[in-house]
Amino acid sequence: MRTVKTSHPSFPKAGANALLSVEPLLRWQALCGDQGHWRVGLYSPPEATAEDCHELERHDCPELFVLLSGRMSLLLFEAGGLRELALEPGRPALITAPHNGFCPGGPHTGVALVVERDAFSTEYRTPEEWARERRD
């Protein structure tokens, strides 16, 4: 297990009332936010299958995912084990479980908008480590 703390400001300065720059083919790109409150970014994982997700993350706060383009699923660890949640365009998903994402159409072929806090802590573990913690 590893833990990463994200402190504010955790996003770049962004010009207001203008289009923001987006870099293609990145797993995560923070775009903008409101210091001490929230940040918004684009998420586009390189993993193409659930089996490619060797690590799951869990923040100490919820994350809101909205699929913008392509196909993307989230691999979630919940009480019953692993579950895949296929995101649907324009239909938000509020995620609190340990998770990772994958694009069934191939690396970076899906893009989701993510809203989360500006500062938080994240635990990273393998699916086996999450399962072991559940049994303890």
CATH of the domain at 130: 2.60.120.10
Q: How far is CA 77 from CA 23, 97, 126, 128, 130, in A?
A: 30, 6, 10, 10, 7
| Assigned domain for 37 exists | yes
| Assigned domain for 90 exists | yes
Strand partners, 99: 57, 76
Averaged pLDDT score across all residues of the chain: 94
The count of domains in the chain is 1
The model's pTM:
0.93
Query: Residues 93-110: pLDDT tens digits?
Result: 999 999 999 999 999 999
Spatial separation of the C-alpha atoms in residues 71 and 128, rounded to whole Å: 26
Residue with the bigger pLDDT between 131 and 73: it is 73
Tokens (6 digits) for 36 = 């001490």
Spatial separation of the C-alpha atoms in residues 26 and 16, rounded to whole Å: 23
| Assigned domain for 18 exists | no
**Which residues span the domain enclosing 109?**
2-9+23-135
CB 74 within 8 A of CB 84: yes
Instruction: Identify the H or E element spanning 7.
Output: none
